Structure 1
């Protein structure tokens, strides 16, 4: 099929539904990749840039507004998933704990999940939430791709140095982990991200 040659067309991505709990998620079929990150990591902007939409994922001046698991089908068999962000939102502790419980159930039980994109603001990488996500991915043997977002906020040399440092710090992960620079503002890194998503989402198709 030509799709296998050219990769998925992420511009066809549409919003489907939002879920507060695992039992509210769409049917657990096909393949999906989840986007995770602290509330101020630029997750919505990255999804909008990837899909060529200005409003697919809701951006907000108040980080932490996204409290649900949001599903965005690319086609009938492939989805992107926007997970709730943590660590910045000004919400009650009980609500955060509820988010974390349902997020944990999704990550542990969702059979169609084939990879996680973990977004970190390049100026503030490797915070507590990031480490929690990395620990979960290691325990679950889940491939993870780190996007160092807002790379335009640093000079290229400084951005590259941060990339190299984190890559070296995580080198024991081997092929399970990859990392790149990304800027929604400059649209840099979109092709690299698309290629990584294709490698996960189209893996079965290539066999």
Structure 2
């Protein structure tokens, strides 16, 4: 089993999805986003990046990183294209924009796509240097239950409206000049980490 704190192999010409989050806990909805991205974006690999924590939220009650890695690996199963990492734990930055910049520098011949659920697009404008993320890599948004309207009417979606690409060309997104993003409608899995935590007695991070 590969070391989750190291950057996975990225061969010349590979198209790689970057799917980040705290995943506290990971669930079938996360796996669905990952598998949808793999299929619709024609990715060679998707790096499931379990982060030390979300800078926008408190770390109180957050499960240990090692536990979240283990749970994500169990959920990913035997799919060789789903690679669970915690590479940000070894980086000096807590922010996605700097993480992406580091990966582009270290893997200059790979093509990266940032992947996230539609629920995250609604608050994407609050992320540190979110415009830099959009300039560095194409972005694929996977629809999530109850998030379609808030995502597509969000500040980010409006700011990047001119750069939205059709779903039908999603398999070519990684090769598009940035900014470029697409919104992928697919089957929805009605579950969230918040729901699971509430059932277990609750923690206030996601």
TM-score, scaled relative to structure 1: 0.46
TM-score, scaled relative to structure 2: 0.46
Bigger RCO of structures 1 and 2 (CA < 8 A, at least 6 apart): 2
